[in-house]
Amino acid sequence: MKDPLPSIDLLADAEEVVSRVSALSERDFREARAARLEGVQRALEETETDCLVLSLGADLPWLTGYEAMPLERLTALVVARGTAPVLLVPELEAPRVRPDDELFSLRPWAEGSDPYDTVAQLIGEAGSVAVSDRMWASALLEIQCRRPHARYSAASTLLAGLRGQKDDVELLLLARAAHITDLVAEEILAGDLRLAGREEKVVAADITARLVAQGLQRVNFAIVGSGPNSASPHHEPGTRVISRGDPVVLDFGGVYSLGEEPGYCSDTTRTVVIDQIPEGFVELYHALHVAQAAARREASSAITGAALDAVARDAIEAAGFGRYFIHRTGHGIGLEEHEEPYVASGNRRALGPHAAFSIEPGIYLPGQFGARIEDVCVTGEHHAVSLNRSSRDMAIV
C-alpha cells in the first residue's frame, strides 16, 4: 500500500477507516496478494515443503482473490516451491476468476478430462506436499492415488502463521466490518431496536436486516438468547417472547466486502437486561465485565493464546464463577468467522503482531441466565485495540 497503517490505533477511528477503505484500489489488493505469495514461498523454503495444493476454503481466496464453489469438480491451486502457481478450475467456473498474470496462471479443465492427472503432473516428483485442510477427502484420495510416495501434511501448519498476521488491507476491512456491526449494537443498547414483547427469532431477523441495511454483504449468525436461554452460549433464536426481567445475550456478525474482493467477518456480543435486573445478575455481569476488560488490556503480540485465555479465566474464577465459564476465551477472525489463532488453553504460541481475534468470555448459570461480552481485537507490538466500540456497561433497555 502507498500509505501503510502508521498504527493500529487508527483502526478504532470509524471515520478514518471509512476513508481509507474507500481509497483502497485494485492495485492495493493485488500487491497484498503478491506479498502473501512471497510469504508462502518463504514458508515452503523454510519448512522444506516441495509443493502446496489449495482447494476449497479460505486459503485460496486469501492468496488469489478467488473463492471456489464447494463443488465435486476439482479446483486446485498448485504452488510448487520456487515456481509460479497454477490455478486449475472447471471450465465453467473460469469466467468467475479474475485473472492476475503476475500471481498465477489459469488453467481451465474441460468437462470429461481428468484434472487429477494435471495435478499429479504439477506435483511431479515432490517429496512433501501440503494440502488445504478444507480439501475434500475424495479429492485428496485421488491425488494420493496418483502420487502415493509423497509425504502429505496439512497446509494450516504452513499458512496459519501467515494468515494469522493480517496485512493492512485485511485490517482495514475487518475494522470496517466491526464498525458496521457496532451500529446495530448501538441501536440495541439505546433501545432503538425493540426487544421486549417480541419473539427471539423476530429480533434475530430484525438484527439481520439492519446489518445488511448498514452495509454487510451477508449475515453469518444472529444469536438472541433471552431469560434462561441466555445460559446457552449458541442458543438458536426461537419463539420465546422476551419479557421484563430477562437478560438477553445478542451475538451477531457477518461479512463486509469491497466489490468482488473476498469479504472479512465481524462478530460482537452484548448482553442487556429488560427493564429490571434479576437477582444475582449484577454480580455475574460485574465479574464478566472485569474479566473481559482484563483480557483486552493484557492482549499483545507477545502473549500466547493460552496465557490470554487464563487472564479472563482467572478473573472469573476469582469472582467465584469459574465453573460457569464453559468455553474458550476467543477465536481468530478474518476471511473465516473462526480461524487461528485461538485464545484457548491449548494454544502455546504467541499471538504475534496484527493478529485479529475475539475476546468473548461468558458466564452461564444453567436454567437461570447468562451473559457474554465479545469484541474483536487486533494486536500491535505492545498492546491491542478493540475494533468494536459499543458500550460494555450493563444496559437496561
Q: Which is nearer to Zn ion, 59 or 251 (CB)?
A: 251
Report how far apart, in Å, the C-alpha atoms of 285 and of each of 213, 299, 309 are: 31, 21, 18
Label each residue of 196-215 as H, E or C.
CCCEHHHHHHHHHHHHHHHC
Report how far apart, in Å, the C-alpha atoms of 36 and of each of 64, 162, 201 are: 9, 8, 41
Region near Zn ion per CB under 5 A, out of 22-30, 54-62, 110-118, 260-268? 260-268
Question: Minimal distance in Å, beta carbon 361 to Zn ion?
Answer: 11
Which residue in 28, 182, 200, 251 binds Zn ion (CB under 5 A)?
251
Q: Cα(376)–Cα(162) distance, rounded to whole angstroms? A: 19
- The edge-to-edge listing of strands for the beta sheet with 86-90 is 105-109, 86-90, 76-80, 51-54, 128-131, 151-154
| Residues binding Zn ion: number (CB under 5 A) | 5
Q: Which is nearer to Zn ion, 269 or 379 (CB)?
A: 269
Closest of 341, 287, 340, 296 to residue 314, by C-alpha:
287
Q: Which is nearer to Zn ion, 11 or 359 (CB)?
A: 359
Region near Zn ion per CB under 5 A, out of 17-25, 250-258, 295-303, 316-324? 250-258
Q: Which is nearer to Zn ion, 131 or 299 (CB)?
A: 299
Does residue number 267 form part of the binding site for Zn ion (CB under 5 A)?
yes
Region near Zn ion per CB under 5 A, out of 161-169, 195-203, 249-257, 304-312? 249-257
Question: Minimal distance in Å, beta carbon 141 to Zn ion?
Answer: 32
Q: Cα(33)–Cα(169) distance, rounded to whole angstroms? A: 10
Q: H-type helices in the chain, by residue range?
A: 14-22, 26-46, 59-64, 115-123, 137-146, 156-163, 168-189, 200-214, 281-298, 305-318
Q: Cα(128)–Cα(143) distance, rounded to whole angstroms? A: 13
Q: Which is nearer to Zn ion, 78 or 203 (CB)?
A: 203
Question: Minimal distance in Å, beta carbon 252 to Zn ion?
Answer: 7
Joined together, the cell numbers standing for residue 288 give 464478566
Q: What is the DSSP string of 138-160?
A: HHHHHHHHHSTTSEEEETHHHHH
Residue 383 burial class via C-beta count within 10 angstroms: exposed 0-12, middle 13-18, buried 19 and up: middle
Q: Which is nearer to Zn ion, 33 or 331 (CB)?
A: 331
Region near Zn ion per CB under 5 A, out of 8-16, 53-61, 243-251, 342-350? 243-251
Question: Minimal distance in Å, beta carbon 357 to Zn ion?
Answer: 9
Question: Minimal distance in Å, beta carbon 161 to Zn ion?
Answer: 21
Does residue number 340 form part of the binding site for Zn ion (CB under 5 A)?
no
| Helix axis angle, 168-189 to 200-214, nearest 10° | 130
Region near Zn ion per CB under 5 A, out of 92-100, 235-243, 315-323, 374-382? 374-382
Residue 363 CB contacts under 8 Å (≥ 6 apart), including other chains: 284, 287, 288, 316, 321, 324, 325, 370, 371, 372
Q: Which is nearer to Zn ion, 75 or 292 (CB)?
A: 292
Q: Which is nearer to Zn ion, 64 or 358 (CB)?
A: 358
DSSP state of 69: -
Question: Minimal distance in Å, beta carbon 331 to Zn ion?
Answer: 6
Indicate if the alpha-carbon torsion angle 239, 282, 389, 314 is positive or negative: negative
Does residue number 266 form part of the binding site for Zn ion (CB under 5 A)?
no
Question: Minimal distance in Å, beta carbon 223 to Zn ion?
Answer: 7
Question: Minimal distance in Å, beta carbon 251 to Zn ion?
Answer: 4
Region near Zn ion per CB under 5 A, out of 7-15, 264-272, 294-302, 388-396? 264-272
Question: Minimal distance in Å, beta carbon 234 to Zn ion?
Answer: 6
Q: Cα(101)–Cα(83) distance, rounded to whole angstroms? A: 13
Q: Which is nearer to Zn ion, 309 or 374 (CB)?
A: 374
Report how far apart, in Å, the C-alpha atoms of 167 and of each of 33, 70, 72, 193, 358 are: 10, 27, 32, 35, 18
Which residue in 292, 358, 379, 386 binds Zn ion (CB under 5 A)?
358
The residues that touch Zn ion, with contacts defined as CB under 5 A, are 251, 267, 269, 358, 374
